[in-house]
Structure 1
Amino acid sequence: MIDGMITDPPNIDRKASLGLALRQRILTMELAPGAVLDEVALSEEFGLSRPPVRELMRQMAGEGYIELEANRAARVSSMSYQSLRDFFLLAPMIYITANKLAAENRTRAELDALKQIQQSFQKAIDANDVEGRVFYNDEFHRQLGEMAHNVYLVPSLRRLQIDHARIGKIFYTHPNTPRMQEELELASRQHEEMIEAVERRDVDAAGELARLHLELSRRNMAMYATPEGLEAPTL
């Protein structure tokens, strides 16, 4: 602020805002898998020149959010049967390890931040806020990854989380049902139990809860893909 006037934020702040917005739009499926990213429109929306936008695109491609190919526009990372299969094959190993290391290495400040994220996740469930549920579930597991304090684990976890969030948005967008609400409340209780296990540094319990939590995700996906049939009327 200069002489009582608000000045425009520097390019670095605008670039950070663009990065945050793109990540959120991708995770919540506002930008669908395979969608073309309009570099010019993004530059204009966030008041940036083209070079910092391109630099951000390269960074996000390295993180797995975006696909870059020569002589083609940037696109949101695609999803397919193979990517879903790969996710559920590898995710247990990464999430279980993250939880175990978080229980070993967490700090009090990190644990307090995890509790705050969980409160926001529960509020999103109570408000039937699909995008909020997806976003805060992603933040919850991202925070656990940070608490692991392992430079080799975090990149793999973050890449898995991109598709985890998008899977959640796909399979929780259809109309709410009593069974779905029960599953969401179970997921929230598992979060609470993870917090308790990490707080008491119970490595085995933290790892087992991660396994159960992923099994819940897998079951929900199967429930959506193959819904229960309706009862035939009695003749």
Structure 2
Amino acid sequence: MGKAMMQDKLFSPPATSDRKAALAHVLRQRILTMELAPGAVLDEIALSEEFGLSRPPVRELMRQMAAEGYIELEANRAARVTSMSYQSLRNFFLAAPLVYVATTKIAALNASPDEIQGLKLIQNRFRLAVEQCDIDSRVYYNDQFHLEIGKMAHNPYLMPSLNRLLIDHARLAKTFYQPNNSHMQADLESAVQQHEEIIAAIERHDADAAVEIVRAHLELSRRNMAMYVAPEGLEVPADI
């Protein structure tokens, strides 16, 4: 699949006439890829006009996306994209090991053959995005990879935490994890390989191996993001 075709598949709205669903799809995409920056004001009128909706369904969607963690709503203020800060980064690295380890471990115990095939398809697209240096698609398919593992765990208690975590994972990756030297490119290739190893561990239902690989995978992200924030004085937690 060529880059243009993959982009069409990635960024086209849902195959539905439901304009509210299309708006939800596009807003999530714009937030995850940082087209809408953290803290950006969301113009209800402009969105209503863009998607041919009245304002009540747009406001309803805003409330839904606020509950999911994409948007911040405050009384007497316009809706804004959820903000990010150094505290966000610290909170992410404190919570990520707990959530990713739990979902990956349970997925390794529960995953069906069909679910594993779906995960492999996402991984193929992630690999292609890395090979083509397509940052937005790489961020998106990495998000989808870990989301799919969460779904494979079939645990409703973990999914809200995973969904919230993935919002900032995508945005942090877009902000900090962009290869600009051979070392970082090598790390991206390692991330691709770690995804493959996670799939293999899940496929053979080896929960312990899957957990060890996902821990190493998180350390790879932590190290690359820390390269950017450490000069600013933030100590990124290392005990992941």
Superposed pair shares fold, TM > 0.5: yes
Given the alignment, which residue of 151, 159, 165 partners 2:156? Answer: 151
What is the match of residue 3 of structure 1? Answer: none
Structure 1 residues without counterparts, runs of 5 or longer: 1-8, 228-235
Any idea what SS the aligned residue of 2:199 has?
helix
Which of residues 184, 205, 211 in structure 1 aligns to 2:215? 211
Q: Does 1:110 align with 2:132?
A: no
Match of 2:19 in 1: 14
2:100 is the counterpart of 1:100: no
**Offset of residue 216 of structure 1:** 0.6
1:19-78 Cα deviation digits (max 9, x unpaired): 111111101100000000001111111111111111110000000000000110000000
Normalized against structure 2, the TM-score is what?
0.88
- Structure 1 residue aligned with 2:229: 225
Report the alpha carbon displacement of residue 224 of structure 1 after superposing the two structures with TM: 2.8
Matched-pair contact (CA < 8 Å) for 1:130–1:172: no
2:228 maps to a residue whose letter is: Y
* 1:141 equivalent among 142, 146, 149: 146
In terms of Rg, which structure is larger? 1
TM-superposed CA distance for 1:223, in Å, is: 2.0
Q: Distance in 2 between matches of 1:45 and 1:176?
A: 36
Is 1:172 the counterpart of 2:194? The answer is no
Task: Classify the secondary structure of the residue corresponding to 1:45.
Answer: helix
Instruction: Tell whether 2:29 aligns with 1:24.
Output: yes
- Alpha-carbon distance in 1 for matches of 2:229, 2:189: 21
TM-score by length of 1: 0.89
Alpha carbons 1:197, 1:206 under 8 Å: kept: yes
- 1:205 aligned partner, one-letter code: A
Tell me which residue corresponds to 1:6: none
Partner Cα distance (1:121, 1:72) in 2: 38
Pairs aligned (count): 218
Q: Matches of 1:64 and 1:12 in 2, distance apart? A: 26
Q: How many Å apart are 1:172 and its aligned residue?
A: 3.0
Q: 1:160: which partner in 2? A: 165
* 4+ long deviations beyond 3 Å: none
Q: Is the 8 A contact 2:19 2:51 kept in 1?
A: yes
* Equivalent position of 2:80 in the other structure: 75
- CA-to-aligned-CA distance 1:168-203 (integer Å, 9 cap, x gap): 000134x63211110100000000000000000000
Root-mean-square deviation (CA, aligned residues, Å) is 1.7
Following TM superposition, by how much is the alpha carbon of 1:109 offset from its aligned partner in structure 2, in angstroms? 1.3
**Number of the residue aligned with 2:68:** 63
- Code of the aligned partner of 2:116: L
Letter in 2 for 1:31: L
Percentage of pairs with the same residue: 67
Q: Which residue identity lines up with residue 195 of structure 1 in the other structure?
A: I
| Structure 1 Cα separation of the partners of residues 39 and 17 of structure 2 | 27
Match of 2:201 among 174, 194, 197: 197
2:172 & 2:17 partners in 1: Cα distance? 31
Aligned mates of 1:125, 1:226 — CA distance in 2: 25
Native 8 Å contact 1:104 1:201 kept in 2: yes
User: What letter corresponds to residue 220 of structure 1 in structure 2?
Assistant: N
- SS in structure 2 opposite 1:190? helix
1:187 matched to which residue of 2? 191
